[in-house]
């Protein structure tokens, strides 16, 4: 299985001939190496409804006939846009042909802003656990630090965790380092930083704060084999 990072919170998982992309914010993301017309995806997973996470979901889903997996409210809204969806909610899990997805809580907002200055309620923000090929990947989504991350790590031994470090909208490096300690993941990768001025961070600072010395900064396009 190949897991790659593509700037902001975009993560791609390639496994068993299937491609899963999480939070595909491509157009408008100056840090990504991806182009919408070059992406082939079987599944799209969305952690929440903010525009920098929903991103190019509708175009990608229609182009690839991809199934969008997200919270039930956002799934309903995207379904009205002509997209195939599978709605879930926090605490729930479902088995897909590539593996199992479980939604965890995240402490954040989840409103989708339209071009005519409306904000659409986007359901509860979430993190996701992916159980694929005997490995567990945790994408925390956008969140602040919360103590139940300890429980997430205890219940589901995590091989790879993607944690936001940008501060201002999510955890900063210091809180993300505590989150990493709570989760006890074998490897931790920082996400959601440097895309916009309010979330400028030095990811190496986060790596230096990790007590377990298990951090790795991925440049857009770089990957990890699991």
Instruction: State the pLDDT at residue 191.
Output: 98
Name the band, by pLDDT with cuts 50, 70 and 90, for residue 208. very high
The CA-based dihedral angle spanning residues 165, 135, 125, 140, taken in that order and rounded to the nearest 10 degrees: -10
Name the band, by pLDDT with cuts 50, 70 and 90, for residue 89. very high
What is the CB neighbour count within 10 angstroms for residue 56? 21
Instruction: State the pLDDT at residue 97.
Output: 97
Name the band, by pLDDT with cuts 50, 70 and 90, for residue 164. very high
With a CB cutoff of 8 Å and minimum separation 6, the contacts of 201 are 165, 166, 167, 172, 173, 190, 193, 194
Name the band, by pLDDT with cuts 50, 70 and 90, for residue 197. very high
Ordered by where they begin, the domains of the chain are 2-218 (3.60.15.10)
Name the band, by pLDDT with cuts 50, 70 and 90, for residue 98. very high
């Amino acid at each position: 299985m190949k897991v790659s990072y593509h700037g902001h919170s975009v993560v791609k998982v390639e496994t068993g001939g299937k491609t899963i992309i999480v939070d595909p914010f491509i157009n408008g993301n100056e840090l990504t190496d991806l182009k919408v017309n070059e992406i082939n995806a079987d599944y799209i997973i969305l952690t929440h409804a903010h525009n920098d996470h929903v991103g190019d979901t509708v175009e990608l889903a229609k182009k690839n006939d991809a199934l969008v997996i997200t919270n039930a409210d956002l799934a309903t809204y995207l379904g009205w846009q002509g997209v195939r969806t599978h709605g879930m909610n926090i605490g729930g899990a479902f088995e897909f042909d590539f593996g199992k997805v479980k939604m965890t809580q995240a402490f954040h907002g989840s409103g989708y802003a339209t071009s005519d200055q409306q904000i659409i309620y986007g359901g509860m923000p979430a993190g996701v656990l992916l159980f694929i090929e005997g490995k567990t990947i945790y994408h925390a989504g956008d969140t602040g630090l919360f103590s139940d991350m300890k429980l997430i790590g205890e219940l589901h031994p995590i091989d790879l965790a993607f944690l936001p470090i940008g501060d201002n909208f999510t955890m900063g490096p210091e809180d993300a380092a505590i989150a990493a300690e709570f989760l006890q993941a074998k490897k931790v990768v920082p996400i959601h930083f440097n895309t916009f001025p309010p979330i400028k961070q030095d990811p190496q600072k986060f790596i230096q704060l990790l007590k377990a010395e298990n951090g790795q900064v991925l440049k857009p396009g770089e990957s990890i084999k699991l």
